Amino acid sequence: MRTRISTLALLAGLLALPSATAGQSKVSALASPRAQAVAAAPKGATFRSSGQEYRVVLGVRATEVPRSAPVAPRLSAAGASGADLLEVKGPYAIYREPAGTAPVGGAETRAVAVNTRSGQLGVITGTITGWAASAAEAGNAARAAGVALEFYAESTGYGFFLAPEGGDALAAAAALRAASGLKGVQVEVRESYDEPE
């Protein structure tokens, strides 16, 4: 009797296998265009931010989309189309940069990086943080590196800097690191955004 029950349980498991596999393939099919685009894109520099390791994804960019505005016009201004859209992350539309195109009408775009552990995409916002002994030291470092000092928090010693619009935030961070006295320099990468209430 036990053998018969075991055989029936095994047979039921084998019959359920194709439907489970079909469910997995549907999930894979839904996730695969974005995953394939990221995997196929050439990769740039690897860097660390907030305890995570990231790698720049070349040929994938982000453009800011005003709240409640349609995504298509912003993609068009960036030289892309809806077919190039990979995902919307907070205020940014992340898209594949079509070969041979450039943003039109001065559309600002940002670099994108992939978290090497989770595979999540993140927007390199252009904000850089770094510790300085004083506001004067942070200001001097900003001028030397060609970045703007947006804010200096006296209570913590951290300065918040902005890379030049359209500039390379990683290069700007390297210039800040080279500036005398600046420590803990990190490029901000936003993988997620809180949904507005």
Assigned domain for 47 exists: yes
Is the per-residue pLDDT at 93 higher than 70?
A: yes
Helix, strand, coil percentages for the chain (3-state, nearest 5): 35, 35, 30
Average pLDDT in the 174-183 region? 87
Q: Quick check: helix, strand or coil at residue 116?
A: coil
Q: Is residue 90 part of a domain?
A: no
Statement to judge: residues 137 and 178 lie in one domain = yes
CB 134 within 8 A of CB 147: no
Residues 1 and 49 in one domain: no
Give the count of domains, the chain. Answer: 2
Measured between alpha carbons, how far is residue 163 from residues 10, 37, 144 in Å?
61, 27, 12
Task: In whole angstroms, give the CA distance from residue 81 to residue 77.
Answer: 9
Please tell me whether residues 143 and 192 are part of one structural domain.
yes
Q: Is 176 inside a domain boundary? A: yes
54 and 9, same structural domain? no
Band (86; pLDDT cuts 50, 70, 90):
very high
150 in Cβ contact with 160 (< 8 Å): yes
Write the pLDDT tens digit of every residue in 130-162: 999 999 999 999 999 999 999 999 999 999 999
User: Are residues 119 and 24 part of one domain?
Assistant: no
User: Would 52 be classed as within a structural domain?
Assistant: yes
pLDDT band at 5 (very low <50, low <70, confident <90, very high): very low
Burial of 100 (0-12, 13-18, 19+ CB in 10 A): exposed
Q: For 24-73, what is each residue's pLDDT tens digit?
A: 443 444 455 777 878 888 889 999 999 999 999 998 999 998 888 889 98
Output the CA–CA distances (angstroms, integers) from residue 24 to 18, 19, 27, 31, 156, in the order listed.
Answer: 10, 9, 5, 11, 48
Cα–Cα distances in angstroms (integers) from residue 88 to residues 63, 83, 91, 128, 154, in the given order: 10, 13, 7, 23, 35
pLDDT at 196 over 70: no
pTM as predicted? 0.76
Q: Which of 53, 195, 39 is nearest to 122 (CA)?
A: 53
User: Are residues 56 and 150 part of one domain?
Assistant: yes
Higher pLDDT pick, 12 / 76: 76
pLDDT, greater one: 12 or 123? 123
Of 85 and 78, the structure prediction assigns the larger pLDDT to 85
- pLDDT given for residue 19 in this prediction: 43
160 within domain boundaries: yes
Judgement on whether residues 47 and 1 belong to the same structural domain of the protein:
no
pLDDT at 123: 95
Residues 21 and 114 in one domain: no
When comparing pLDDT for 26 and 113, which is higher?
113
Question: Within a domain: residue 6?
Answer: yes
Instruction: Give the chain's largest Cα–Cα span.
Output: 84
Find the mean pLDDT for residues 74-94.
89
Residue 190 lies in a domain: yes
> Residue 195: which domain range?
42-62+109-197
Question: Within 10 Å of residue 197's Cβ, how many Cβ atoms?
Answer: 3
In a domain, 138, yes or no: yes
Same-domain check for residues 181 and 152: yes
- One domain, residues 146 and 176: yes
24 with 116, same domain: the answer is no
